[in-house]
Structure formats: C-alpha cells, structure tokens
Chain A
Amino acid sequence: MTAIDLADAYRTMAVYRRFEEAVGAAVVTGEVHGEMHLGIGQEAIAVALRAMLEPTDAVVSTHRPHLHALALGVDPVALLAELLERSGLSGGKGGHMHLFSRDPQFMCTGIVGASAPLACGDALAQQRRDPGRVTVAVAGDGSMNQGAVFESMNLAALWRLPVVFLCEDNGYGISVRRDVATAGQLADRGTPFGIPGHACDGTDPEAVYAALGPAFERARSGDGPSVVVATCYRFRGHYEGDADTYRPKGEKDDWMSAPRDPLSRLRARLEAAGVPVVELDAADAAAEAEVAGWLEAARSVPFPDVDRVRDDVYAAPGARQGVRA
C-alpha cells in the first residue's frame, strides 16, 4: 500500500476546515435556519478516506456529513448550495442532513444508526455488478449503540459485503460521554461477527490511512466488512448554537491546542520535515480562496421553486390526489 501524501493532505484539510467555517458563518447570517452539525476537528479522517476512495465507491454518512461528501468528490458547489437552502444537491428539499448524489454515490441521514443498513444494501446491489467497489458506512461513536448497526454488521459479515464501517469517535453523542453510553471497545464491535477492527488516531491522517488500508483491501478483494474506529474530537458544539457546557474546558483546550489540532499538528510536522513555511502559507491562502469561490458560486444558485414544493413525494406529480381546504 502506498503512503498518503501529507502535503496534499494538508492542503485538503485546510479546505475542509475553511468549508466548515464558511457553513458555520452562514448559520450566523441566517442563510441556514435549521440545525447544523460541523466536522471541524475531524478533518484528518475525511482526508484519509479521500485518499482511499475510488470515484465509483459509495459513502453513506450521518448528520455530520459534509466532509465525507467532499472526500468522495461530491460537487462542492452543489453541496454548499444545498446547505445554504438553495437548489443544490437535494433541490433545497433535503438540507444539510439529507444530501443525495448519484454520481458519485453519496447519501446521508439524520437518523442516528440508519446509515449502516443502507450501506449494506448498496454494497449488496453492487457486489456482483462491480466487484472491487466499496461502500463506506460512516457512524459516530454514539451511533454504534444502535441495534441497526449491530444487525448490519451481522448481515455484512454473513453476506461478505464490501462494507467499511467507519466510526468517527469524537468521544461524545451530544452531551453523553462515550464511557457513559458505550460498554467495551468500539473497535471490537465486529469481533463476535468475525469482522476485523482497527483503532487509530483520528487526528492523524497517516494513522487513519493506515487503518483504512486493510479494511478497503479486504472489501475490494471480496473478503467482507471491517470496522475502523478513528478517535478525534469535535471542536464545535454538537450543533451550531449549542452552549456546550457539558464538556470540561480543560478537555476542550487540550484537544484543540496546536499540538493536537489535526491541522496545526500536520503543519508543524510538515515544517519539521522541511516544507517551507511559504508553501504552507500558500496552501492556506489557496484553501481560503477556493472556498470563497465555491461560496460565491453557491450563492448564485437559485432558491427552490415554491410551486414545486409538493413534487417528488411520488414519481409522478399529483400521484396522491387530495382535496385540501
């Protein structure tokens, strides 16, 4: 297996961070009026996933989905437009927790644990048609306690489905700490089903890449599913606007300090390896400019047509006849 290109990873992670910050800012401006969950602090996982994915692979994500969509290569402008409630990926009907792309094959759900069964089905459908293709089921640490996830692991093992169960373990499900909610080790969750598990440092793209490697290889070669658990920390509240009083200040400060922040940590590492500071600064500036460009393009995407609000419930408009007052 080849190594991940860390300079490229840095550039991409800088884009991911700027992207999420731009979305956060759009909550403040009121361009987003619903709940918004950001992946700031979790960029190293997405960037390693990006390095592993082929364009024909599929990802089924969660309520914190943006970086996984970017990692798969979903059109960033269509993505951003949807987040801004414009006629983007889901026509303005889905919004940030309900993003759907056919090519590449991406979807997500607001129901915790619901990604895993969908990923199994996607893998089942593709298994014969396109051997070697992988479906990634993203999960949070909290979602690993849903029956649907256990059931899916059993199914995936039984049917040797090419699924990678990727758990982003940021230590919390809203306010509930992992040790309050979760018995045993997350990476062992597949063990009773004979599914190998790999735990890794989710703040280090190289470590995540190394853990994903055997999982993808196993899936691509038709040997079945794996579990990968990447430990990280969410830098923002559970949602934008969360008072986030349940996490100790010292804990937050520690995880978000320069030596542990995945972005600044990688930057320091590249600097130490001799990458010139100007180059890294240029990467930061390029990330800033790229996201600004996407934002401008997204803001010119039209809003959805209110007259079509009742379309898309069924295949044919008006399939459900009804008389309304």
Chain B
Amino acid sequence: MNAAGSDRRNGSQLVAETLHAEMDRDPSVIVLGEDVAELGGVFGATRRLRRTYGDERVLDTPISETAFVGAAIGAAQAGLRPVVELMFVDFLGVCFDQIMNQMAKARYMSGGAVTAPLVLRSAVGCIGAAAQHSQVLSATFAHIPGLKVAFPASPGDLRGLLLTAIRDDDPVIFLEHKWLLKTRVAELPFCEDLSEPADAVPFGELRRLRDGGDVTIVAAGFMVQLALTAAEALEAEGIRAGVVDVRTLVPLDREGLVREAAAADALLVVDDDYADYGMCGEVIATVAEALGRGAPRLARHALDVPIPANRALEEAVVPSAASIAAAARGLVSASAAQVPA
C-alpha cells in the first residue's frame, strides 16, 4: 500500500515543502516558534523557510510559549495567518490559557466578529523520552469547543490536511506524529503517491484504508500506520481486520464512523493519547448512541499511564503493531464467543 516508490523524503520535509508553498501563495502566512528559523525546526519541518522568506516571516522565538503562542493568536486576529510551532505538545501546559481561553473562544465571544485563523503545529508521540516529552494530548485540545484538531496519519495527509489547516478561518491544532516526521515515506506501511502537488484534504471526512470483516480498527495519526501492520499480521492468522483513519478529531466524521461500525462485527479504537475521556470514548459513544443494541462489540486500546523512561516499560504501555494485533485478536475471540449458536 506504499505508493511512494523510492522517494527518500521524510514527513518533516513534506511539512516544510507545504509551508513553503503556502508562504509563497499567501503573504500573510508567517512561521514562528522555538528553533524554527536558524535550525529549521528540531525535526526539520521548517527547514530553509527563513532562507527564502527572511526574518520578517520566519521568527525564532524565546522559550516563552505563553508569549509567542499568544502573540500568534493576536496576530491572527489582526489579519496575519500565523503557523506557530509548539516544539513538543507536552509544552502545552505552559501556554494552555492562550489556547483554550483566547484562541478557542475569540469567535464565539465576539459573536463572530473576531476570528483567529492560525495553525498551531506540534510534534506528538513517543520516540523514547519519558513522561514529559512523549505525550499526544489530542483529546485535551479536542475537548475545547472552538478548536479544530487535525491528526494526519500519512505523508499525503501531512500535506493535504496542512493546506486545509492554513486556509481554514478557525484555529487549527495540527498534530504531527514524531514517527511520521522522522520516517522515510517509502518505509511506511502506507503512503500515497506523492508525485503530484498536494491537494487540500477536507476536514471531517474519515477514510477507510483497508477493508475488514471480522474487526475494524479506528485510529488517528501514526497509530493508523501501526494498525495497518497489525491488520497484515492478523490476516496471516485468518482474521480480516479493516483500518479506518479518522484524520480529524474535530470535526469528527460521526456519520462515517457509524457507517463503518454498522458494517463491522467488532470495532477497536486505538490511540496513543490517554485512554480515559479521550478519542476512544468519543468514537465508542458516537457508535453506541447511534446504533444502540445494534452496535458491534466495542473496545479500546490506548495509553493508560504516563510514559516511563525504561525501554521495556515504555514498550509495555505504548501501543505497538503487536499490541494492537493482540487487542484486536482478543476482541474478535470475545465477539465470536458471544455469537449465539
């Protein structure tokens, strides 16, 4: 399912190229954040932007998240289209007031008079740096009315959803999974054909990346890639697992989810954000509300503790292809046991 051929780029390059294209198209787009200018981002997602667009449109900031995220909101309200980078999403705590009270609510509180069209890009997920540098926190944003939350699962969506995010008139949280930023696109389980220039991908439309039958795995971000690997392994055991990518947590394609659930014997929601009060619960509630007793057997597989430092401990709690396959296997055998004879 990888159509990238011998493409040697990684996700961070695709983000940089997309930012380049949008800065070219729209002079009101500016980029700011820690280490984005001189270094081009700690993952390289803003590489070479300053060389092309200069200090006025590409700004290295002090380590002052409240000030520069807040300034991005103010600038957006004043007519710019800032793309502000929060290096790791874990640093959200420093600037959360600006996000949840200022960014999210400006349109509503002003009765629609004031908008804040900005994108907050942030790297999420665990690449081995323990409890304060590995979180996803997607649900923390998605919980707040007024924020849109895009969580691309593939290189094509890194480009397409970012285009939509920048052109959107509302604030968009754009979560870039670190494995997606770092991995060469050709090495991923799934990648689109990237030979044509990117098209904007609409928000709120999930996609099915693999047909199932026995179980459908719903995920976002890099967990979609792992779910595809898990589905491959399950197929060898005779379990047909489908994979659905939600793409945006807000807006959430609830109709699509219900459609997918109605066609599945079992539905497993996978998330590397925390399990409780998160995407898993939201998807399951959506399906249960719509289908009631007609819903398939439902389960979730997500993180339930802070992320530990030791590698073996980390592997014991962060969802992997193997743990997703195990969860799906367990769900399928549980639903089989339930089928009346």
Contact = CB atoms under 8 A, between A and B. Distances in A.
Interface of A: 33-35, 82, 85-86, 90, 92-98, 109-113, 142-143, 145-148, 173-177, 180-182, 246, 303-304, 306, 309-310, 313, 320, 322, 324-325
A206 B301 CA distance: 56
B243 to A, nearest CB: 16
Given A35-B129, A174-B42, A322-B304, A146 B64 contact: yes
Nearest to A112: B63
Contact of A33 (B39, B61, B66, B128): B128
Given A93-B313, A174-B42, A310 B305 contact: yes
Interface stretch (B89-97, B136-144, B180-188): B89-97
B308 interface: yes
16 contacts: A85-B309, A93-B308, A94-B130, A95-B129, A97-B129, A98-B132, A142-B63, A146-B64, A173-B34, A174-B34, A176-B38, A304-B308, A304-B312, A309-B313, A324-B275, A325-B330
A306 B301 CA distance: 18
B316 interface: yes
Central interface residue in A85, A95, A97, by most chain B CB within 10 Å: A95
Contact of A325 (B67, B300, B311): B300
A231 B81 CA distance: 38
B313 A306 contact: yes
B209 interface: no
Q: Chain A binding site: helix, strand, loop or mixed by DSSP?
A: loop
B130 A304 contact: no
A109 B327 CA distance: 34
B317 interface: yes
A92 B310 CA distance: 5
A33 B327 contact: no
B310 to A, nearest CB: 4
Contacts of A33: 128, 311
A306 B312 contact: yes
A176 B132 contact: no
Contacts of A109: 132
A85 B128 CA distance: 11
B306 A313 contact: yes
Contacts of A96: 130, 309
Given A98-B309, A111-B90, A176 B64 contact: no
B64 A85 contact: no
B234 interface: no
A97 B308 CA distance: 11
Interface string B250-276: 000000000000000000100000011
B330 A93 contact: no
Nearest to B55: A180
A183 to B, nearest CB: 9
Given A111-B90, A325-B268, A174 B308 contact: no
Interface string B49-84: 000000000001111111100000000000000000
A142 B133 contact: no
Interface string B322-341: 00000100110000000000
B35 interface: yes
B63 A322 contact: no
A111 B132 contact: yes
Contact of A147 (B60, B67, B275, B313): B67
Nearest to B301: A325
A50 B122 CA distance: 38
A94 to B, nearest CB: 6
A181 B63 contact: yes
Contacts of A146: 63-65, 94
B299 interface: yes
Interface string B292-322: 0000000111001110111111001100000
A110 B130 contact: yes
Contact of B310 (A85, A148, A175, A181): A85
